[in-house]
Amino acid sequence: MDPTVRSPDANPGPRLDTRITDPALRILIDQVEAARAAGAQLRIRGGGTKDFYGEPPQGEILDTTVLEGISSYEPTELVVTARCGTSLATLEAALAEKNQYLPFEPPHFGPGSTVGGMVAAGLSGPPRASVGAVRDYVLGATLLNGRAEVLSFGGQVMKNVAGYDVSRLLAGSLGTLGVILEVSLKVLPLAPATATVRFELAQISAMQKINEWSGLPLPINASAWWDGMLVVRLRGALAAVQSALVALGGDVIEPTQAIAFWRGLRNQSDEYFVKARQAVEQGGALWRLSVPPTAPPLAVTGEQLIEWGGAQRWLCSAAPADSVRDAAMRVGGHATLFMSNDKSAGAFAPLRAPLDRIHRELKKSFDPQGVFNPGRLYPDL
């Protein structure tokens, strides 16, 4: 194979790079070429902190931590480019030095969480409803596809997409399309002021309040309800936050305690998720339900924690998978089996025929021999 290099100016589509001089990248390419030749399959793995998510990983491990480091960072342009094996902690520390951060607050399920895993999983933290998801901050990406080709998509500015936005397509793909080698991300400055308040409210009242407040010009950044307590984080200009505190009332949480609370929620290390993991060990399941924010309480047994203004509902339950998915569908949503020792019901909600066809065509285009992460999204994909 001797492809030519395509100029980004001549063709706004993917850019094929054949000038591979990086030894770490060469290791990954050689492993993919060997797998292709042997008809083998590879399991893309960074820190391994999300191995529980999706269908069980299969294949020989392709270790992306060999490719680490921040390639470029332009604080004045609010853009950072990092390699896939870079730890999230390293990236966030570099941003913090310039008083900047990743607004979607990606979860850290362990110290080994990496940039590549962050994009591949596509999971966002507590502020998702107010600031957007991981994919909304992906400006460009470099991908190693199933043909052992290195392709670049997008760039380092917002207006750079001609045709299908493949860079953002990679968010949530769980490595089924290829190895995310490098990614360029939009970042933002830290807000001048932050405050967290709590209210003792039943679920219905809490959801009514948060939806009412969401329609007002208030700097609501994140919300969470569990066990009769609604917690709301305000973030923005000092005057806006102070005005919102007066308008909303409630009990103000001390800053250190508030930081620990939101970090625990983001990283799923707080009390609710600790209990959920214990329930999983005893045969239960943790579900992630995506529903309209105004959806009523779901008709399903189990303990819930509600985020994103009502749009994300965590359910710890031993209820049958069909009943959980039916409950989500009845209100216009869907359910993901986030954590369970038994995923025979499928980790993700079944796709309708048109979407299933799109998934298969994309897989065929990027990874025709099925080298990467077989069955990670769906058992037969």
Q: Three-state SS across the chain?
A: CCCCCCCCCCCCCCEEECCCCCHHHHHHHHHHHHHHHHCCCEEEECCCCCCCCCCCCCCEEEEHHHCCCEEEEEHHHCEEEEECCCEHHHHHHHHHHCCEECCCCCCCCCCCCEHHHHHHHCCCCCCHHHHCCHHHHEEEEEEECCCCCEEEEECCCCCCCCCCCHHHHCCCCCCCCCEEEEEEEECEECCCEEEEEEEECCHHHHHHHHHHHHCCCCCEEEEEEECCEEEEEEEECHHHHHHHHHHHCCEECCHHHHHHHHHHHHCCCCHHHHHHHHHHHCCCEEEEEECCCCCCCCCCCCEEEEEHHHCEEEEEECCCHHHHHHHHHHCCCEEEEEEECCCCCCCCCCCCHHHHHHHHHHHHHHCCCCCECCCCCCCCC
How much is the CA Rg of the chain, to the nearest whole Å?
Answer: 21
User: Which region among 53-67, 156-170, 269-283 has the lowest average model confidence (pLDDT)?
Assistant: 156-170
Instruction: Read off the pLDDT of each residue in 45-51 and give the average, rounded to a whole number.
Output: 96
CA atoms within 13 A on the CB side of 269: 12
CA dist list (Å): 7 to 59, 146, 147, 178, 218: 35, 22, 20, 22, 46
Q: How far is CA 66 from the centre of its chain?
A: 22
Confidence check: pLDDT of 361 > 90: yes
Q: Taken in order 95, 100, 104, 110, is the CA torsion positive or negative?
A: positive
Confidence check: pLDDT of 14 > 90: no
Confidence check: pLDDT of 116 > 70: yes
Instruction: Read off the pLDDT of each residue in 136-140 and give the average, rounded to a whole number.
Output: 96
- Domain architecture of the chain: domains with CATH: 15-189+359-366 (3.30.465.10), 193-266 (3.30.70), 271-340 (3.30.70)
Percent of the chain past pLDDT 70, that is, above it, reads: 93
Using alpha carbons, select from 97, 293, 159, 272 the residue that is nearest to residue 214: 293
Confidence check: pLDDT of 158 > 50: no
CA pair distance 153, 142, nearest whole angstrom: 6
Per-residue pLDDT reduced to its tens digit, 212-244: 999 999 999 999 999 999 999 999 999 999 999
Using alpha carbons, select from 116, 145, 143, 166 the residue that is nearest to residue 371: 145
Query: What's the pLDDT band for 129 if we cut at 50, 70, 90?
Result: very high
Confidence check: pLDDT of 160 > 50: no
Q: What is the average pLDDT score of the chain?
A: 93
| pLDDT, position 164 | 58
Confidence check: pLDDT of 284 > 50: yes
3-state secondary structure 290-314: ECCCCCCCCCCCCEEEEEHHHCEEE
CA pair distance 135, 23, nearest whole angstrom: 29
**CA 224-98-194 angle, 5° bins:** 30
Instruction: Read off the pLDDT of each residue in 341-355 and give the average, rounded to a whole number.
Output: 95
Using alpha carbons, select from 309, 332, 84 the residue that is nearest to residue 213: 309
The residues, any chain, with a CB within 8 Å of residue 247's CB and separated by 6 or more, are 216, 218
Q: What is the pTM of this model?
A: 0.92
Per-residue pLDDT reduced to its tens digit, 364-377: 999 999 999 999 99
Query: What's the pLDDT band for 154 if we cut at 50, 70, 90?
Result: confident
Confidence check: pLDDT of 163 > 60: no
Confidence check: pLDDT of 108 > 50: yes
| pLDDT, position 18 | 55
Per-residue pLDDT reduced to its tens digit, 321-332: 999 999 999 999
Per-residue pLDDT reduced to its tens digit, 172-207: 999 999 999 999 999 999 999 999 999 999 999 999
Confidence check: pLDDT of 2 > 80: no
CA pair distance 352, 331, nearest whole angstrom: 17
- Give the pair of three-digit tokens for residue 159: 């207006």
| pLDDT, position 166 | 86
| pLDDT, position 5 | 31
Q: Phi first, then psi: what are they for 267, rounded to 5°?
A: -90, 5
Strand partners, 286: 316, 339
Percent of the chain past pLDDT 90, that is, above it, reads: 90
Map tokens 């809490």 to a residue. 206
- Give the pair of three-digit tokens for residue 263: 């970090």
Per-residue pLDDT reduced to its tens digit, 299-319: 999 999 999 999 999 999 999
Query: What's the pLDDT band for 20 if we cut at 50, 70, 90?
Result: confident
Confidence check: pLDDT of 13 > 80: no
| pLDDT, position 4 | 29
